[in-house]
Amino acid sequence: MSVTPNVTMTFSEEQGMLLAVARGFVRDQAPIDVIRAQLETETGYDPVVWQSMVDMGWAGIALPDSVGGAGMGVGSAVPVFESLGGGLLGTPLLSTTLAGQLIWRAAGEGAASWLARLCSGEVGALALLDHADWGAANCGVSLGSDGCLSGRKCFVADAGVADMFVVVANDNGETILAIVEATALSSDALSHNVVIDLTKRSANVDFTGVVPVDILRGERVVAALRDTLLLGALLTASETTGAAALCLSGITDYLKTRKQFGKLIGSYQALKHPTVDIYVGMENARSFIYHGASVVDDDPLSEDAETACRMAKVAADDVMVFAGDRSVQFHGGFGFTWDCDSTLFIRRAQWAQQMFGGAIHHRKRLAALLLDS
């Protein structure tokens, strides 16, 4: 039995088509040996693969056609990211998608020129964190009276390949979004992070002395930032759910071929039961991410949409951490070595649970939604 496509879920025609195309693309472009070959490269991905994704319209999949996007809605990105996670395929698609969502939700067609550039394949990076706290205000970068920014951002995903940055900053206490061209940064502005998941890249970025090429401000900015963080949680959960399915597939293949004491190790209850727990957790997470896909749209996210995004992140984080750990343990001493793919899964689990808030972060906020209203 194949674990990935086994459970029947009702998709829209659009979602079903995207899922089939994206899975086929990942199957062809991201066998595990190709992924491993990219781990030690500067960017972590193949530019040819990225361009193929751009050509298929994925860079603008969540943006309206009026600004050069595919006009399919942000929920349509969920099957794409689930599929990318199912190949551990590292690309700047998540960063670019979220940069586009933040600009679109804050400024709409007033920022059409920036959105068109993202849809055409330029890489956008969301510069948010002042430190490792997704729940903080993160407005430490300020805009001075001279028009220059002052301050730095931490853990900016895909900063090294970004063409533009969307910087969350403040102007005399007002939250603003500063659009910065990558060419405006000084040669020593980026300090690359050492991250546990080698399919990912991030850096600390010093924006001091940089003059933004555009400033987005107004009452829509704060709501746009909140919604973009929730969408980041949902799309990261989608990617994580795909990775959990790939991890489970590796586990089941191993349990059905490895023998100990003359028996397949998959026949032992001590391994059967946690493997089934992973299976249940993965399908639970899939249900959450596709529920999330059905309730998010271009409007400000409702409380139901917020709940769906947070629940998806909790479910995906939990199952990926458990699956990665069990994969290592089931493979014994080999599971701790670089040659075993289990190390890629447990590294992805550790990375994913830190992005856009971990399970504890979202459980606390779900508790508030449930009990404080």
Q: Which two tokens stand for residue 127?
A: 């510069």
> Is residue 88's pLDDT more than 70?
yes
Tell me what pLDDT residue 136 has: 78
What is the tens place of the pLDDT at every residue in 18-30?
A: 889 999 999 999 8
Contact 202, 158 (CB under 8 A): yes
Q: Which two tokens stand for residue 268?
A: 């032992």
Length of the chain: 373
CA distance 352 to 338: 20
> Is residue 320's pLDDT more than 70?
yes
CA distance 166 to 122: 13
Enumerate the domain spans of the chain. Answer: 13-119, 124-218, 221-371
Topology of the domain comprising 221-371 = Butyryl-CoA Dehydrogenase, subunit A; domain 3 (1.20.140)
Q: Which two tokens stand for residue 28?
A: 């062809």
Secondary structure class of 124 (helix, strand, coil): strand
Tell me what pLDDT residue 10 has: 54
> Is residue 3's pLDDT more than 80?
no
CA distance 206 to 188: 8
> Is residue 84's pLDDT more than 80?
yes
Contact 23, 2 (CB under 8 A): no
> Is residue 188's pLDDT more than 70?
yes
Q: Average of pLDDT values for 274-284? A: 97
Q: Yes or no: is domain 13-119 CATH 1.10.3470.10?
A: no
Q: Are strands 124-127 and 164-171 parallel, antiparallel or unpaired?
A: parallel
Tell me what pLDDT residue 262 has: 83
Tell me what pLDDT residue 225 has: 96
pLDDT bucket at 11, cuts 50 / 70 / 90: low
CA distance 214 to 111: 9
pLDDT > 70: percent of the chain: 97
Q: Which two tokens stand for residue 65?
A: 């056609």
Instruction: Tell me the C-alpha to C-alpha distance, in Å, between residue 285 and each of 244, 366, 370.
Output: 9, 16, 20
Topology of the domain comprising 124-218 = Butyryl-CoA Dehydrogenase, subunit A; domain 2 (2.40.110)
> Is residue 78's pLDDT more than 90?
yes
Residue 18 or residue 78, greater confidence: 78
> Is residue 6's pLDDT more than 50?
no
Tell me what pLDDT residue 234 has: 98
Tell me what pLDDT residue 110 has: 94
> Is residue 367's pLDDT more than 70?
yes
What is the tens place of the pLDDT at every residue in 134-182?
A: 877 778 899 999 999 999 999 999 999 999 999 999 999 999 999 999 9
Tell me what pLDDT residue 373 has: 63
What is the tens place of the pLDDT at every residue in 104-145?
A: 999 999 999 999 999 999 999 999 999 878 877 778 899 999
Q: Which two tokens stand for residue 248?
A: 């489970």
